[in-house]
Amino acid sequence: MKKQTYTPARSITPEIEAMLNKQIVMEGKSSAAYLSMASWCDTQGYEISAEFLYKHSEEERHHMLKLFRYVNAAGGHALQPEVTGIKHEFKSLREVFELVLFHEIEVTKSINTIVDQCLQIKDFATFNFLQWYVNEQREEETLARRAVEIFDIIGEEGVGLWMIDQEVGKLEAYAARVSGKIGPDRG
Binding site for ligand FEO (CB under 6 A): 27, 30, 60, 63, 104, 107, 140
Binning the chain into helix, strand and coil, the percentages to the nearest 5 are: 75, 0, 25
Q: Give the CA dihedral 63, 79, 33, 165, nearest 10 degrees.
A: 10
- From the list 175, 59, 177, the residue with the least C-alpha distance to 107 is 59
Q: Which is nearer to ligand FEO, 111 or 161 (CB)?
A: 111
Minimum CB separation from ligand FEO for residue 4, in Å? 42
99 or 163, CB closer to ligand FEO?
99
Q: Which among 153, 87, 139 is positioned nearest to 108, based on CA atoms?
A: 139
Q: Which is nearer to ligand FEO, 12 or 67 (CB)?
A: 67
Min CB(81)–ligand FEO separation in Å: 13
Minimum Å distance from CB 46 to ligand FEO?
20
Q: By the 8 A CB rule, do 16 and 114 touch? A: yes
Using the minimum distance from each CB to ligand FEO, give the nearer residue, 104 or 165: 104
Residue nearest to ligand FEO (CB): 63
In the bound complex, what is the minimum distance in angstroms from residue 57's beta carbon to ligand FEO?
A: 10
